[in-house]
Amino acid sequence: MPWAAVETNVLTSPEGRRLSASAKLLWLAGRLHCGEFETNGLIERSAIPLLMYASGATDAAEDLVAELVKVEWWHDTEGGWEDVGFLRSNPSHESRERRREVDAAKKQRQRTRPVPPGRPLVLSPGAVPPGRPGGKTETGQNNTGELLSGGTARSLQPAGSHQASENGLGDRAHRKRISHGNGRDR
């Protein structure tokens, strides 16, 4: 989810105290806009009407922008304005992209890592453990002998989607055995 950092003392700083309430709201809407669209602090002129609406600012946009430029919270650029402090307290688009790539690679490694022998298998709600009807065997095959992608000890089939287990007790007894962790009915 997109986000943007705001210094906690920004509204009570000397510059913040010189701004009107509407200018503060426009600045905040601009900061959030930069965070959402990862603009590195750049605010296009075409975004101002939306920011005025989103902020609820009631004064003329030109006057509010002039206030923000005067206290040096925004700087005039060719296509709009730059939130001067944005990159001081927020990561750049490039660093966010690198972070997403690192996180995606880490998650991919975690998803494809097999469960080590002897480690208890933690299943998602509704998943079927290996060797059970609808679950994977240790060889990565399901109960029909089809080879499943990855061969890991996780099943994507909901627990209630198969018929009774081989002992005829069905899914309810099976879940009860797993919840006690000893493989015996209680």
pLDDT digits (tens, 9 = 90+) for 95-104: 999 999 999 9
SS3 (DSSP) at 75: strand
Threshold 0.75, pTM exceeds = no
Domain boundaries of the chain, sorted by first residue: 14-89, 115-181
- Asked whether residue 172 carries a pLDDT value surpassing 60, the answer given is no
pLDDT recorded at residue 34: 97
The 10s digit of each residue's pLDDT in 60-114 is 999 999 999 999 999 999 999 999 999 999 999 999 999 999 999 999 988 888 8
The predicted structure's pLDDT at residue 135? 57
Amino acid type, 14: P
DSSP code for 125: T
Spell out the residues 6+ positions from residue 147 whose beta carbon is closer than 8 angstroms to its own. Answer: 139, 140, 141
Within 8 A by CB and 6+ apart from 142, the residues are 134, 135, 136, 148, 155, 157
